[in-house]
């Protein structure tokens, strides 16, 4: 890896009646979905859940050179679209209008956050 990855953090609500379903889905994410993310240069993608606040928080690192292109490739992938169709009903985005991403809606389904601190020790490579 020639340079440090760029980090992305984002947040979305997890619907209270979908917690078990969401956890089960994410305990065995479809291999083609993971493969598409890897091909799109996403690494160390982690999702945390805060039960008290009903929120999901994600962190990932991007090691490519064309973020918009790589993310478009994710969004255009038919298996990923099917994956989103089962995940979207579990979530309530903070700011969204219109059809969800699986139906072609554009925007930040997951709300981006601002990085206010990093310790200066980013990953230098990934498994």
Instruction: Give residues in contact with a copy of itself (CB under 8 A).
Output: 4, 7, 9, 11, 22-23, 26-27, 29, 34, 37-38, 42-53, 55-57, 59-60, 94-95, 111, 113-127
Least spacing, CB of residue 120 vs a copy of itself, in Å: 7
Least spacing, CB of residue 14 vs a copy of itself, in Å: 9
Q: Which is nearer to a copy of itself, 61 or 101 (CB)?
A: 61
Beta-bridged to residue 50, according to DSSP, are 55
Q: Which is nearer to a copy of itself, 54 or 104 (CB)?
A: 54
CA distances, 109 to each of 31, 101, 114, 124 (Å): 22, 7, 16, 29
Q: Which is nearer to a copy of itself, 21 or 104 (CB)?
A: 21
H helix or E strand, kind and range, residue 48: strand 42-50
Q: Which is nearer to a copy of itself, 23 or 85 (CB)?
A: 23
User: Taking a C-beta distance cutoff of 8 angstroms, is the pair 101, 75 a contact?
Assistant: yes
User: Taking a C-beta distance cutoff of 8 angstroms, is the pair 95, 108 a contact?
Assistant: yes
Helix, strand or coil for residue 93? Answer: coil
Least spacing, CB of residue 109 vs a copy of itself, in Å: 15
Least spacing, CB of residue 38 vs a copy of itself, in Å: 7
Backbone angles phi, psi at 41, to 5 degrees: 70, 25
């Amino acid at each position: 890896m020639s340079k440090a990855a760029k980090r992305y953090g984002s947040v979305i609500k997890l619907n209270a009646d979908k917690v078990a379903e969401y956890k089960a889905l994410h305990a065995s994410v479809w291999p083609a979905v993971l493969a598409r993310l890897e091909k799109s240069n996403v690494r160390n993608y982690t999702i945390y859940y805060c039960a008290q606040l009903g929120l999901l928080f994600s962190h990932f690192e991007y090691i490519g050179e064309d973020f918009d292109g790589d993310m478009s490739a994710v969004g255009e992938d038919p298996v990923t679209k099917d994956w989103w169709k089962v995940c979207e009903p579990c979530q309530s985005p903070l700011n969204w209008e219109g059809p969800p991403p699986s139906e072609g809606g554009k925007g930040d389904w997951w709300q981006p956050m601002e990085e206010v601190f990093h310790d200066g020790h980013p990953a230098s490579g990934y498994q």
